[in-house]
Structure 1
Amino acid sequence: MELAPPPPGLEAEYAMLFTTDSLVFLHELISTFDEEVDQILQLRVSRKAQLDLSGDLPTFLESTTHIRREPAWRVLPVPPRLQKRHVDIGDMAPCDTQRFIKALQSPAQGIQVDFDDGNCPTYYNQIKGIHNVVKAVCNLFPNVPHISQAPVLMLRPRAWNMVEHNVMVEGKEAPGPLFDFGLIIFHCGKTLVEHASGPFFYLSKVESFMEARLWNKIFVWTQQKLGLPLGSIKATVLIENVLAAFEMEEILYELRDHSAGLNCGIWDYSASFVNKFGHRPAFLLPDRSKYVNMKKRFLHSYMDLLVQTCHRRGALATGGMAALLLPPNPLSDSYKRVLESVKRLKLLEINAGVDGFMVYDLNLIEPMQKLFELHSEGDNQLHQLRNDVVVTPDDLLSMPSGGVTLYGLKYNITVGVLFINAWLSGKGHFFYRGQVEDSATAEISRSQVWQWIRHQTPLENDSRVVSKQLVTDLTKEFIMELSTPCHSVRTKQRFHTAADMFLEVVQMRHFPEFITTYLNQDHTFLSSQVSGQLEPLDTDMQLSKL
């Protein structure tokens, strides 16, 4: 096993995490499951090729009908600390120490400790973030509640598509999720179990029950290896891929001893339609800023089915993250407008039967907890079986009608470029127009621009169509507006690099499956890590300028 040297400034954290025993465990974990990780990634490619070659659409699997038809099976009941999950804090990159501490001090039920969508996986961020998790679990932060009393940690390792460039195991870069999971569970697993506070995980970008089966094998192996009680690891699977929506019961079944439920969100899920079917004209996804929301048939059907599936099997169903940020003045009209907007959106989810959801802004925690208490009964809504729900493949695959606006095209370009700019600065999210943007919104943004170029989609505003030239011109205009004389040469260069990378990814002949994979493998990002050239992102500039 080969490790890169510690990131500058993290020598002590590195030494604490990479002990002889932890390295032995990490090596054994990765070498045991590395081949199966490759296999599930190959299965994804095979499934996509089969759908493309046949022109078929996904449906509920015939081979697993017996699982769906068997009424008796249930997931194991979740521990007491997971029974009430009304409001979690989302996109919590744990390398942000100050925000992490504030989250631990908050009244939230849980914290999505995010090494995935809201985090940029530089070596520095991974080491710092994992070390901060260990400090939280071991109660080493001052003025923070004991781990048994603080919001429960919902640990989200990277998804299967990500690799850890700084760790080689038997001549191969380590799978990112196994690196994250392995270090966290080795250092924190026993303590979390002793205090009845975990270990609890979120699993990102799962596409099939075979992937859930692999995670279950990893959980069983880990519990046996570390002497943890069987079934003590619990995981919430994010259903953020259209293919997984057809296998929700099977995913729960595979993880039935380790399940903390399923989660639904809007943007990664919507982007998956472009990922799987974006080259098909019938799956043209219209302007998300105008025509895509949770009231649309394909999205409300997905949420309804997720709630029904979870509750009939005794599992918790959670909703997406409120990305809006409350203005600083609680007496202002803008504050009231934003709060009412968030309430309206989250009430849709509560009425659908979800047991909880996420917010980014810590000031939204208590208003959303009050909203839950007003409109639901008890710790969760498991009693809401949603027997009224009947969802067909047509419901799940029904694209909303609508076109493309110039505003929506510009908005997607802006989010895509600024996300890449943030990534090149070592950040996994940024703020724009009063809300947080992360890889999920970047994913849908760049996916839509790619698809609109591919189908030469006409604009609603005028006679133009979305083309390579139009997108290039609008991107250059945006960079000109963004750059000001006060910016350093280096900052301006980074803006231009981000714009070039965005244009490259939206013009590729074949759709790049994940923007994070593209960025993580790009020479610009890799060389900046090696040379330590990541420059802090000027968030204040973005908020004031944009």
Structure 2
Amino acid sequence: MATGIEITGALRPGYETILTDAALAFVAQLHHMYEPTRRSLLGAREQHQAWWNAGHGIDFAGEMSSVRDDPFWQVRPAPHDLTDRRVEITGPCDRKMVINALNSGAQCFMACLEDASAPTWDVMVQGQVNLRDAAAGTISLEDKGKSYTLNPKTATLIARPRGWHLDEAHMLVDGERVSGAIFDFGLYVFHNARALLARGSGPYFYLPKLEHYLEARLWNNIFTTAQSMLDLPLGTIRATVLIETLPGAFMAEEILYELRDHITALNCGRWDYIFSYIKTFQADPDKVLPDRAAVTMTVPFMAKYAAHVVRTCHKRGAHAMGGMSAFIPVKDDEAANERAFAAVRADKEREASLGHDGTWVAHPGLVGIAREVFDRLMPTPNQLSVIPEGHATAADLTTPPDGPKTLAGLTNNINVGIGYIAAWLRGQGAVPLHNLMEDAATAEISRTQLWQWRVSDVVLDGGETVDAALIDRVTDEQLAVWKAAVGDNFFATGKYLEAADVFRTLVLADELAPFLTLPAYEHYFAG
């Protein structure tokens, strides 16, 4: 192993094929070059949040008006296998999921090392093993007497690395942790770029949680450096950026500009966007959102956000991807299953009619519904020519909707928050809860909303004031609900008590933690 590199995680059979000296040296070089910039940008995030907490508003960046006003620049055209993205399936990188997703009939599979995966060492490295085999077209699995192999035609593979905020605690360079984003990206592109190109595809990425155009510039510099180190032509690496933060929405056009040689699309990451809205306005009692269930894509500020993303993308020649409806098929309940399918169908009809070039689903059983909608409403490979009228103002993107604030909504936040965090602590990142597919954004919305309701002294529609006593009481009640539901697993392997402790601590903290995964990772996974 190269001097200065230390791996502290367990080296299980097969890991040596991913954690090679050459691959780790590649990651270490990217770390040496770009870690100071990452740290600086994370510090800038804290400064921006302090500015908003002081009562200042958020608006489009004045210093970048020349980029927004220039009518001529365009992004590089998409490669052939990213020109039609009408249905994309998302999910974690466990072996069976990867095979089933690639075989699902979707155009693309976003293999998620971020919010749909718990960042344990084994999940991260085994995920790289699985993606390496998928990129080579050789992935297979024997499980419980059943064989899983790839179909002749599969979805285009896109990897999502972790966001800039997360470290990888198990790889140290000169005693310093590497970025989780650089670890995930570096290993994937090092091992898979040439195999993907040989199969007529390429190294494609979804980039999460960007808040500023300088964060996009950092990714662009890393792409350029990686291509040079691997002797790949400029533009070989292609990215889709999730516009899933409120600050990112205000810089969508600038993000496209910074990545114009490498970007193909922006995506409406709706659940993290709601979380980011709450986090950005955490200190503003006039920006308190109603129950999570009431914040749909049809409320004004969310509808304006979606139109803004489509308009921005198509103006610059980029694709605009829709988001994920959280509904999944419901077993053994035909009526509930039809309601779920109807909700997904309506969501996809809204997206296709607005001008989106494709959408996400969370389950193979929903690929057909999404495809039927987009085939019907988008008969061409994409609809880059559709540009929604108007333009988004700061008020459009920041005015909260009216809606209920209820004890039932508070209770659901606590129930789902405990259930998701418990699964996350067990190593699961994507979890079906109450007939919805949830990822880390679920717990983030739940805990940030309750934190904001508490510090804003929100009075619920039933007359209850949201305070520490109410949150404590309902948390205890929902622990009892989970204990009744899971039985013996509650104490043994369920992690529900630990999850409730994480959730309660974060909701009752004096300051709002920027991500629940930061303290939870340190306490449970970094050792």
State whether TM-score is above 0.5: yes
1:170 is the counterpart of 2:169: no
1:93 is the counterpart of 2:97: no
1:352 is the counterpart of 2:351: no
The one-character-per-residue Cα deviations of 1:165-221 (angstroms, maximum 9, x if unpaired) are 101112211110000000000000111123231211000000010000010000000
Structure 1 match to 2:69: 69
1:379 to 360, 378, 381: 381
Structure 1 match to 2:145: none
Asked whether the 8 Å contact 1:235–1:259 carries over to 2, the reply is yes
Structure 1 match to 2:155: 151
1:282-297, aligned counterparts within 5 Å? 282-289=286-293, 291-297=294-300
Change (3 A) 1:486 1:57: closer
1:29 is the counterpart of 2:30: yes
Long gaps (5+) in structure 1: 531-546
Structure 1 match to 2:112: 114
Asked whether the 8 Å contact 1:323–1:361 carries over to 2, the reply is no
Q: 3-state DSSP class of the match of 2:264?
A: strand
1:446 is the counterpart of 2:452: no
Distance 2:160 2:491 in 1: 33
Structure 1 match to 2:473: 473
Asked whether the 8 Å contact 1:13–1:127 carries over to 2, the reply is no
Asked whether the 8 Å contact 2:423–2:494 carries over to 1, the reply is no
Identity of aligned residues (%): 35
Structure 2 match to 1:127: 125
Asked whether the 8 Å contact 1:240–1:264 carries over to 2, the reply is yes
Structure 2 match to 1:535: none
1:429 is the counterpart of 2:430: yes
Shift of 1:327: 2.2
Shift of 1:106: 1.8
Structure 2 match to 1:277: 281
1:299 is the counterpart of 2:298: no
Which segment drifts farther, 402-411 or 254-263?
402-411
Asked whether the 8 Å contact 2:275–2:445 carries over to 1, the reply is yes
Distance 2:206 2:515 in 1: 19
The one-character-per-residue Cα deviations of 1:301-336 (angstroms, maximum 9, x if unpaired) are 111010000001000000111221112369x33322
Q: 3-state DSSP class of the match of 1:113?
A: strand
Distance 1:491 1:409 in 2: 27
Distance 2:86 2:490 in 1: 46
Shift of 1:490: 3.7
Divergent runs of 4+, >4 A: none
Asked whether the 8 Å contact 1:416–1:445 carries over to 2, the reply is yes
Letter in 1 for 2:158: M
Distance 2:199 2:476 in 1: 54
Asked whether the 8 Å contact 1:304–1:389 carries over to 2, the reply is no
Structure 2 match to 1:208: 212
Distance 1:314 1:378 in 2: 15
Q: 3-state DSSP class of the match of 2:495?
A: helix
TM-score by length of 1: 0.91
1:140 is the counterpart of 2:124: no
Asked whether the 8 Å contact 2:85–2:107 carries over to 1, the reply is yes
Distance 2:495 2:367 in 1: 35
Shift of 1:158: 0.2
Asked whether the 8 Å contact 2:92–2:113 carries over to 1, the reply is yes
Q: 3-state DSSP class of the match of 2:429?
A: coil
Which segment drifts farther, 55-64 or 352-361?
55-64
Asked whether the 8 Å contact 1:198–1:232 carries over to 2, the reply is yes
1:181 to 175, 180, 185: 185
Change (3 A) 1:493 1:221: closer
Asked whether the 8 Å contact 1:160–1:177 carries over to 2, the reply is yes
Distance 1:489 1:457 in 2: 32
1:228 to 223, 229, 232: 232
The one-character-per-residue Cα deviations of 1:137-179 (angstroms, maximum 9, x if unpaired) are 1122243146xx4211111000011110101112211110000
Distance 2:78 2:300 in 1: 31
Which segment drifts farther, 10-19 or 56-65?
10-19
Distance 1:333 1:414 in 2: 24
1:4 is the counterpart of 2:12: no
Structure 2 match to 1:78: 78
Asked whether the 8 Å contact 1:266–1:293 carries over to 2, the reply is no
Shift of 1:98: 1.1
Distance 1:30 1:390 in 2: 39
Which segment drifts farther, 303-312 or 419-428?
419-428
1:199 is the counterpart of 2:203: yes
Structure 2 match to 1:543: none
Distance 2:401 2:282 in 1: 14
Change (3 A) 1:483 1:489: closer
Shift of 1:494: 2.3
Q: 3-state DSSP class of the match of 2:346?
A: helix
The one-character-per-residue Cα deviations of 1:414-439 (angstroms, maximum 9, x if unpaired) are 11111211111111122111111110
Shift of 1:519: 1.4
Q: 3-state DSSP class of the match of 1:85?
A: coil
The one-character-per-residue Cα deviations of 1:448-500 (angstroms, maximum 9, x if unpaired) are 11111111211112x21111111110110111122149415743772112111
Letter in 2 for 1:144: L
Q: 3-state DSSP class of the match of 2:465?
A: coil
Letter in 2 for 1:354: H
Letter in 2 for 1:457: V
Asked whether the 8 Å contact 1:479–1:496 carries over to 2, the reply is yes
Letter in 1 for 2:352: I
Structure 2 match to 1:508: 509
Distance 1:329 1:205 in 2: 37
Letter in 2 for 1:237: V
Structure 2 match to 1:533: none
Distance 1:307 1:242 in 2: 16
Q: 3-state DSSP class of the match of 1:11?
A: coil
Distance 2:135 2:99 in 1: 12
Structure 1 match to 2:41: 40
Q: 3-state DSSP class of the match of 2:401?
A: coil
Asked whether the 8 Å contact 2:483–2:490 carries over to 1, the reply is no
Distance 1:411 1:486 in 2: 20
Structure 2 match to 1:58: 58
Change (3 A) 1:489 1:109: closer
Shift of 1:84: 0.4
Distance 2:273 2:123 in 1: 26
Q: 3-state DSSP class of the match of 1:180?
A: helix
Change (3 A) 1:111 1:452: same
Q: 3-state DSSP class of the match of 2:150?
A: coil
Asked whether the 8 Å contact 1:157–1:177 carries over to 2, the reply is yes
Distance 2:45 2:263 in 1: 23
Distance 2:442 2:234 in 1: 37
